Amino acid sequence: MMIEDIFSDSFLAKAKADFNNVKSKPDLDKTKSMYLGSDSGVMKGFSSIPKLSADHRAEYGKNLNSLKSKLEVYYKAARESLDKGTDLPGLDLSLPGLSERSFAHGHKHPTSQVLSQTYDVFRGLGFSIVDSDEIETDWYNFEALNMPKDHPAREMQDTFYVNNGKSNLVPRTHTSGTQIRFMENNKPPFKIIVPGRVFRNEDEDATHIWSFYQIEGLVVGEGISMSDLKGTLLTVVQSLLGPEVDIRFRASYFPYTEPSVELDCKYKGKWLELGGAGMIHPQVLINGGIDPEKYTGFAFGWGAERIANIKYGLTDLRELWRPRFVFLEQF
Protein backbone atom coordinates (compact mmCIF):
# COMPACT_ATOMS: atom_id res chain seq x y z
CA MET A 1 0.00 0.00 0.00
CA MET A 2 1.44 3.35 -1.01
CA ILE A 3 1.67 5.99 1.61
CA GLU A 4 -0.24 8.64 -0.37
CA ASP A 5 -3.22 6.24 -0.75
CA ILE A 6 -4.18 6.37 2.85
CA PHE A 7 -5.80 9.78 2.79
CA SER A 8 -8.19 8.86 -0.01
CA ASP A 9 -11.90 8.31 0.63
CA SER A 10 -11.75 4.90 -0.97
CA PHE A 11 -9.10 3.81 1.54
CA LEU A 12 -11.30 4.79 4.45
CA ALA A 13 -14.35 3.16 2.89
CA LYS A 14 -12.45 -0.06 2.34
CA ALA A 15 -11.17 -0.01 5.92
CA LYS A 16 -14.70 0.45 7.22
CA ALA A 17 -15.98 -2.41 5.09
CA ASP A 18 -13.13 -4.67 6.15
CA PHE A 19 -13.75 -4.07 9.84
CA ASN A 20 -17.49 -4.52 9.30
CA ASN A 21 -16.89 -7.89 7.73
CA VAL A 22 -14.91 -9.23 10.67
CA LYS A 23 -16.34 -12.59 11.65
CA SER A 24 -13.87 -14.04 14.15
CA LYS A 25 -11.10 -13.15 16.53
CA PRO A 26 -8.29 -14.09 14.13
CA ASP A 27 -10.09 -12.08 11.46
CA LEU A 28 -10.18 -9.10 13.80
CA ASP A 29 -6.49 -9.46 14.62
CA LYS A 30 -5.59 -9.70 10.96
CA THR A 31 -7.61 -6.64 9.99
CA LYS A 32 -6.23 -4.66 12.90
CA SER A 33 -2.69 -5.46 11.93
CA MET A 34 -3.44 -4.54 8.31
CA TYR A 35 -4.67 -1.05 9.19
CA LEU A 36 -3.04 -0.27 12.53
CA GLY A 37 -0.08 -2.64 12.79
CA SER A 38 3.54 -1.59 12.55
CA ASP A 39 3.63 -2.37 8.82
CA SER A 40 0.42 -0.48 8.03
CA GLY A 41 0.35 2.63 5.90
CA VAL A 42 -0.66 4.80 8.83
CA MET A 43 2.17 3.62 11.07
CA LYS A 44 4.67 3.93 8.25
CA GLY A 45 3.37 7.43 7.73
CA PHE A 46 4.24 8.29 11.33
CA SER A 47 7.74 6.97 10.97
CA SER A 48 8.27 9.03 7.82
CA ILE A 49 7.50 12.33 9.61
CA PRO A 50 11.10 13.09 10.67
CA LYS A 51 12.15 12.92 7.01
CA LEU A 52 9.66 15.61 5.93
CA SER A 53 10.52 19.25 5.66
CA ALA A 54 9.62 21.24 8.77
CA ASP A 55 6.68 23.14 7.25
CA HIS A 56 4.99 19.94 6.06
CA ARG A 57 5.39 18.03 9.28
CA ALA A 58 2.65 19.61 11.39
CA GLU A 59 -0.13 19.28 8.87
CA TYR A 60 0.85 15.80 7.78
CA GLY A 61 0.95 14.67 11.41
CA LYS A 62 -2.44 16.15 12.13
CA ASN A 63 -4.03 14.38 9.15
CA LEU A 64 -2.42 11.14 10.12
CA ASN A 65 -3.70 11.37 13.71
CA SER A 66 -7.22 12.00 12.58
CA LEU A 67 -7.08 9.05 10.19
CA LYS A 68 -5.70 6.83 12.90
CA SER A 69 -8.47 7.69 15.34
CA LYS A 70 -11.09 6.95 12.67
CA LEU A 71 -9.56 3.54 12.08
CA GLU A 72 -9.53 2.92 15.82
CA VAL A 73 -13.23 3.66 16.00
CA TYR A 74 -13.86 1.06 13.27
CA TYR A 75 -11.71 -1.42 15.16
CA LYS A 76 -13.54 -0.92 18.44
CA ALA A 77 -16.90 -1.20 16.71
CA ALA A 78 -15.82 -4.44 15.07
CA ARG A 79 -14.62 -5.81 18.42
CA GLU A 80 -17.88 -4.95 20.13
CA SER A 81 -20.02 -6.41 17.40
CA LEU A 82 -17.95 -9.55 17.53
CA ASP A 83 -18.69 -9.94 21.23
CA LYS A 84 -22.35 -9.24 20.70
CA GLY A 85 -22.22 -11.88 18.06
CA THR A 86 -25.58 -12.35 16.50
CA ASP A 87 -27.19 -10.79 19.56
CA LEU A 88 -27.43 -14.02 21.43
CA PRO A 89 -30.52 -14.19 23.59
CA GLY A 90 -29.97 -14.65 27.30
CA LEU A 91 -30.69 -18.11 28.59
CA ASP A 92 -32.17 -19.51 31.76
CA LEU A 93 -29.08 -21.43 32.84
CA SER A 94 -30.89 -23.03 35.76
CA LEU A 95 -32.85 -25.16 33.32
CA PRO A 96 -31.79 -28.78 33.15
CA GLY A 97 -29.01 -29.07 30.65
CA LEU A 98 -30.07 -30.61 27.42
CA SER A 99 -27.61 -32.28 25.23
CA GLU A 100 -28.46 -33.16 21.69
CA ARG A 101 -25.01 -34.55 21.22
CA SER A 102 -24.64 -38.13 20.24
CA PHE A 103 -22.98 -40.41 22.74
CA ALA A 104 -19.22 -40.31 22.38
CA HIS A 105 -16.34 -42.35 23.67
CA GLY A 106 -14.29 -40.37 26.20
CA HIS A 107 -10.54 -40.41 26.33
CA LYS A 108 -8.72 -40.56 29.62
CA HIS A 109 -5.33 -38.87 29.41
CA PRO A 110 -2.53 -41.44 29.04
CA THR A 111 -0.73 -40.14 32.13
CA SER A 112 -3.98 -40.41 34.05
CA GLN A 113 -4.44 -43.96 32.84
CA VAL A 114 -1.01 -44.84 34.19
CA LEU A 115 -1.76 -43.05 37.45
CA SER A 116 -5.08 -44.86 37.88
CA GLN A 117 -3.48 -48.22 37.17
CA THR A 118 -0.78 -47.37 39.68
CA TYR A 119 -3.38 -46.45 42.30
CA ASP A 120 -5.11 -49.78 41.73
CA VAL A 121 -1.92 -51.75 42.23
CA PHE A 122 -0.95 -49.92 45.39
CA ARG A 123 -4.48 -50.05 46.79
CA GLY A 124 -4.26 -53.80 46.28
CA LEU A 125 -1.08 -53.80 48.36
CA GLY A 126 -2.91 -51.94 51.12
CA PHE A 127 -1.37 -48.51 50.48
CA SER A 128 -3.12 -45.21 51.00
CA ILE A 129 -2.95 -42.54 48.31
CA VAL A 130 -2.11 -39.13 49.68
CA ASP A 131 -2.67 -35.71 48.13
CA SER A 132 -0.35 -32.80 48.91
CA ASP A 133 0.53 -29.23 48.02
CA GLU A 134 2.52 -28.57 44.89
CA ILE A 135 4.12 -25.35 46.10
CA GLU A 136 6.45 -26.19 48.96
CA THR A 137 8.74 -24.44 51.37
CA ASP A 138 12.48 -24.83 51.11
CA TRP A 139 12.44 -26.85 54.35
CA TYR A 140 10.18 -29.62 53.10
CA ASN A 141 11.52 -29.74 49.56
CA PHE A 142 15.20 -29.62 50.49
CA GLU A 143 16.41 -29.03 54.03
CA ALA A 144 14.44 -31.73 55.83
CA LEU A 145 15.65 -34.15 53.17
CA ASN A 146 19.30 -33.55 54.07
CA MET A 147 19.82 -30.91 51.41
CA PRO A 148 20.82 -27.72 53.23
CA LYS A 149 21.60 -24.58 51.25
CA ASP A 150 24.72 -24.98 49.11
CA HIS A 151 24.37 -28.76 49.07
CA PRO A 152 25.65 -29.97 45.69
CA ALA A 153 22.75 -32.42 45.42
CA ARG A 154 20.37 -29.50 44.97
CA GLU A 155 21.82 -29.17 41.53
CA MET A 156 20.49 -32.58 40.57
CA GLN A 157 17.13 -30.83 40.48
CA ASP A 158 17.00 -27.49 38.71
CA THR A 159 14.63 -25.46 40.78
CA PHE A 160 12.04 -22.78 40.08
CA TYR A 161 11.44 -20.23 42.78
CA VAL A 162 8.15 -18.50 43.36
CA ASN A 163 7.50 -15.26 45.16
CA ASN A 164 4.47 -14.98 47.40
CA GLY A 165 5.10 -11.33 48.23
CA LYS A 166 7.04 -12.08 51.39
CA SER A 167 9.27 -15.09 51.01
CA ASN A 168 10.30 -17.52 48.35
CA LEU A 169 8.59 -20.84 47.82
CA VAL A 170 9.53 -23.77 45.65
CA PRO A 171 7.25 -25.40 43.09
CA ARG A 172 8.23 -28.81 44.37
CA THR A 173 11.05 -30.48 42.44
CA HIS A 174 9.90 -33.87 43.71
CA THR A 175 7.10 -35.35 45.80
CA SER A 176 9.56 -36.35 48.52
CA GLY A 177 8.72 -33.31 50.64
CA THR A 178 5.45 -35.04 51.47
CA GLN A 179 7.47 -37.76 53.23
CA ILE A 180 8.22 -35.32 56.04
CA ARG A 181 4.71 -33.83 56.07
CA PHE A 182 3.13 -37.25 56.34
CA MET A 183 5.52 -38.51 59.02
CA GLU A 184 4.86 -35.40 61.09
CA ASN A 185 1.16 -36.17 61.22
CA ASN A 186 1.04 -39.95 61.30
CA LYS A 187 2.45 -42.68 63.49
CA PRO A 188 4.08 -45.74 61.91
CA PRO A 189 3.42 -48.24 60.56
CA PHE A 190 2.17 -46.78 57.31
CA LYS A 191 2.45 -47.30 53.60
CA ILE A 192 1.45 -44.57 51.23
CA ILE A 193 1.98 -43.25 47.77
CA VAL A 194 1.94 -39.57 46.89
CA PRO A 195 1.19 -38.78 43.26
CA GLY A 196 1.45 -35.27 41.94
CA ARG A 197 2.88 -32.60 39.73
CA VAL A 198 6.53 -31.64 40.10
CA PHE A 199 8.49 -28.93 38.36
CA ARG A 200 12.07 -28.73 37.10
CA ASN A 201 13.63 -25.64 35.63
CA GLU A 202 15.13 -27.25 32.58
CA ASP A 203 14.70 -26.97 28.85
CA GLU A 204 12.27 -29.30 27.18
CA ASP A 205 12.87 -31.77 24.45
CA ALA A 206 11.20 -34.96 23.29
CA THR A 207 12.41 -36.89 26.35
CA HIS A 208 12.44 -34.15 29.01
CA ILE A 209 9.55 -32.06 30.23
CA TRP A 210 9.76 -29.34 32.84
CA SER A 211 6.53 -30.34 34.51
CA PHE A 212 5.54 -33.93 35.14
CA TYR A 213 3.74 -36.31 37.47
CA GLN A 214 5.76 -38.17 40.05
CA ILE A 215 4.65 -41.08 42.18
CA GLU A 216 6.34 -41.15 45.56
CA GLY A 217 6.17 -44.17 47.83
CA LEU A 218 6.81 -44.24 51.55
CA VAL A 219 6.69 -47.24 53.84
CA VAL A 220 7.70 -47.08 57.51
CA GLY A 221 7.39 -49.77 60.13
CA GLU A 222 9.36 -52.07 62.40
CA GLY A 223 11.67 -54.36 60.50
CA ILE A 224 11.04 -52.92 57.04
CA SER A 225 13.92 -54.05 54.86
CA MET A 226 15.52 -53.37 51.53
CA SER A 227 14.22 -56.73 50.32
CA ASP A 228 10.73 -55.42 51.07
CA LEU A 229 11.56 -52.48 48.83
CA LYS A 230 12.65 -54.79 46.05
CA GLY A 231 9.60 -57.03 46.41
CA THR A 232 7.22 -54.07 46.43
CA LEU A 233 8.77 -52.54 43.35
CA LEU A 234 8.89 -55.87 41.53
CA THR A 235 5.19 -56.43 42.22
CA VAL A 236 4.26 -52.95 41.09
CA VAL A 237 6.41 -52.92 37.96
CA GLN A 238 5.13 -56.33 36.90
CA SER A 239 1.53 -55.31 37.55
CA LEU A 240 1.98 -52.20 35.43
CA LEU A 241 4.17 -53.47 32.62
CA GLY A 242 3.63 -57.21 32.55
CA PRO A 243 4.67 -60.31 34.54
CA GLU A 244 7.65 -61.00 32.28
CA VAL A 245 9.33 -57.70 33.21
CA ASP A 246 12.41 -57.95 35.43
CA ILE A 247 13.86 -55.24 37.65
CA ARG A 248 17.30 -54.47 39.00
CA PHE A 249 18.85 -52.10 41.50
CA ARG A 250 21.97 -50.07 40.78
CA ALA A 251 23.85 -48.29 43.58
CA SER A 252 23.16 -44.56 43.60
CA TYR A 253 23.11 -41.54 45.83
CA PHE A 254 20.27 -39.42 47.13
CA PRO A 255 20.76 -37.36 50.28
CA TYR A 256 17.47 -38.56 51.78
CA THR A 257 17.93 -42.30 51.42
CA GLU A 258 20.73 -44.57 52.60
CA PRO A 259 21.39 -46.89 50.85
CA SER A 260 20.12 -45.36 47.60
CA VAL A 261 19.50 -47.20 44.37
CA GLU A 262 18.40 -46.56 40.82
CA LEU A 263 15.57 -48.78 39.65
CA ASP A 264 15.80 -50.24 36.14
CA CYS A 265 13.33 -52.52 34.42
CA LYS A 266 13.94 -54.93 31.58
CA TYR A 267 11.16 -54.30 29.12
CA LYS A 268 11.11 -56.04 25.73
CA GLY A 269 14.72 -57.09 26.20
CA LYS A 270 16.11 -53.68 27.08
CA TRP A 271 17.09 -52.26 30.45
CA LEU A 272 15.35 -48.93 31.02
CA GLU A 273 15.81 -46.45 33.84
CA LEU A 274 12.64 -46.11 35.83
CA GLY A 275 13.31 -44.13 39.00
CA GLY A 276 15.11 -43.84 42.30
CA ALA A 277 14.60 -45.62 45.61
CA GLY A 278 16.25 -46.37 48.91
CA MET A 279 15.98 -46.91 52.63
CA ILE A 280 14.92 -43.69 54.37
CA HIS A 281 17.90 -41.89 55.86
CA PRO A 282 17.74 -41.95 59.68
CA GLN A 283 18.02 -38.16 59.82
CA VAL A 284 14.99 -37.85 57.56
CA LEU A 285 13.05 -40.12 59.92
CA ILE A 286 14.18 -37.91 62.82
CA ASN A 287 13.11 -34.79 60.87
CA GLY A 288 9.70 -36.43 60.52
CA GLY A 289 9.58 -37.19 64.25
CA ILE A 290 10.24 -40.93 63.97
CA ASP A 291 12.79 -42.93 66.01
CA PRO A 292 15.21 -44.52 63.51
CA GLU A 293 16.39 -47.11 66.06
CA LYS A 294 12.89 -48.49 66.31
CA TYR A 295 11.57 -47.97 62.81
CA THR A 296 13.00 -48.36 59.36
CA GLY A 297 11.43 -47.61 56.04
CA PHE A 298 11.85 -47.20 52.35
CA ALA A 299 10.94 -44.60 49.78
CA PHE A 300 10.84 -44.56 46.02
CA GLY A 301 9.77 -42.31 43.21
CA TRP A 302 9.32 -42.29 39.47
CA GLY A 303 7.63 -40.32 36.75
CA ALA A 304 4.21 -41.38 35.52
CA GLU A 305 5.05 -40.04 32.07
CA ARG A 306 8.04 -42.36 32.00
CA ILE A 307 5.74 -45.37 32.42
CA ALA A 308 3.34 -43.98 29.82
CA ASN A 309 6.30 -43.54 27.53
CA ILE A 310 7.34 -47.17 27.92
CA LYS A 311 3.84 -48.60 27.82
CA TYR A 312 2.42 -46.65 24.93
CA GLY A 313 5.57 -46.15 22.86
CA LEU A 314 5.38 -42.37 22.95
CA THR A 315 7.90 -40.53 20.83
CA ASP A 316 7.55 -37.04 22.26
CA LEU A 317 6.66 -36.49 25.91
CA ARG A 318 5.62 -32.91 25.18
CA GLU A 319 2.48 -34.24 23.49
CA LEU A 320 1.22 -35.12 26.96
CA TRP A 321 1.27 -31.51 28.09
CA ARG A 322 0.35 -29.62 24.93
CA PRO A 323 -2.59 -31.78 24.04
CA ARG A 324 -3.73 -32.20 20.49
CA PHE A 325 -7.00 -34.04 20.25
CA VAL A 326 -5.77 -36.09 17.31
CA PHE A 327 -3.14 -37.46 19.73
CA LEU A 328 -5.50 -38.00 22.65
CA GLU A 329 -8.07 -39.75 20.42
CA GLN A 330 -5.81 -42.80 20.43
CA PHE A 331 -6.20 -43.36 24.16
Partner 1 sequence: MKLPVNLVNNYLKNKLSTDGIVVALERTEVEVEEIISSIELDKKIVTAKVLKVLPHPNADKLRIAELVIGKDKFTVVCGAPNLKENMIVAYAQPGSVLPDGNKIKVASLRGQKSQGMLCSAKELGINDDHSGLLELDPSLPLGISLCDIENTGDIIDIKTPANRWDMLSVLGLAREIAANSPGNDIRYPKSEVVEYSDSELVKNAEIGECSRFISVKLSVKHNSKSPAWLVDNLLASGMRSINPIVDITNFVMIETGQPSHAYDYSKLEGSPRVRFAKSNEIITTLDKEARNLTKHDLVIADKKGPVAIAGVMGGLKTEVDEDTKEILIEVANFNKTTVRRSALRHGIRTESSGRFEKGLPLPLQDFAMQRLLYLFKDICGASIIQVPNDQLYAWPWVQHLGLRVRRADKFIGVKLDEKQLIDGLRSRGFDAEHFSLAKESAKHLGKPYLLGASYKTHKTDAFDCSYLTEYLYSLIGVSIGHTAKQQFDSGNGVEIADIKPGDLIFLERDFEDQKLKKERDGIRHVGMYVGNKGVLEASYDAGKVVITGLKAFEKSGTVRGIRRYVSSFNHIISVTCPWWRTDVRIEQDLYEEAAKILGYDKLPATLPQLPPMNNNDNTLVNKIDDLRNTLVGKGLFEIMTYSFISKKQLAENDLRLAEHLSVINPLSIEQEYLRSNILPSHLKILSNNRDYWENNYGFFELSRVYRKDTTKLNGKHEAWHLAVSLVGDGSVTALKNVLDLISEKYDWKIKVINSESSNFVKGRYAEIYVANINIGSFGQIKPSKLKLDRISSEVSILEIEITEKLITEADKILKPVPLYQFIDRDFTIEVDTAVYWQDIIEALENSSAVKIMFISEFTDVDLAVAAKKRISFRVWFDCGPQPEQKQIDVSASLVVTCLKKSKTIVNFKVC
CA atoms of 328 and 324, how far apart (whole Å): 6
Q: Is 171 helix (H, G, I), strand (E, B) or coil?
A: strand
- Which residue in 12, 3, 9, 5 sits closest to 70, CA to CA? 12
Range 222-281, binding partner 1 (CB under 8 A):
223-228, 230-232, 234-235, 248-253, 255, 258-262, 279, 281
Establish if 294 lies at the interface with partner 1 (CB under 8 A).
Answer: no
Q: Which is nearer to partner 1, 5 or 158 (CB)?
A: 158
Range 126-155, binding partner 1 (CB under 8 A):
126-131, 133-135, 137, 150-153, 155
Establish if 107 lies at the interface with partner 1 (CB under 8 A).
Answer: yes
Sign, CA torsion 149/150/153/155: positive
CA atoms of 172 and 160, how far apart (whole Å): 8
Any idea what DSSP says for residue 263? Answer: E
Using CB under 8 A as the criterion, what x/- string covers residues 175-214 for binding partner 1? Answer: --------------xxxx--x-x-x-xxx------xx---
Establish if 312 lies at the interface with partner 1 (CB under 8 A).
Answer: no
Establish if 287 lies at the interface with partner 1 (CB under 8 A).
Answer: no
Contact 122, 129 (CB under 8 A): yes
CB of 55 to partner 1, least distance (A): 42
Q: Which helix (H) or strand (E) holds 264?
A: strand 257-267
Residue of 3, 5, 13, 25 interacting with partner 1 (CB under 8 A)? 25
Q: Which is nearer to partner 1, 143 or 258 (CB)?
A: 258
Stretch that binds partner 1, among 2-10, 52-60, 68-76, 107-115 (CB under 8 A): 107-115
Angle at Cα 111 formed by Cα 216 and Cα 113, nearest 5°? 100
Q: What is the DSSP string of 61-72?
A: HHHHHHHHHHHH
Residue of 10, 24, 38, 53 interacting with partner 1 (CB under 8 A)? 24
Contact 209, 246 (CB under 8 A): no
Establish if 32 lies at the interface with partner 1 (CB under 8 A).
Answer: no
Contact 220, 239 (CB under 8 A): no
Establish if 164 lies at the interface with partner 1 (CB under 8 A).
Answer: yes
CA 289 to chain centre: 33
Residue of 39, 55, 83, 244 interacting with partner 1 (CB under 8 A)? 83
Q: Which helix (H) or strand (E) holds 301?
A: strand 296-303
Range 37-56, binding partner 1 (CB under 8 A):
none
Residue of 109, 181, 266, 311 interacting with partner 1 (CB under 8 A)? 109
Stretch that binds partner 1, among 8-16, 47-55, 172-180, 219-227 (CB under 8 A): 219-227
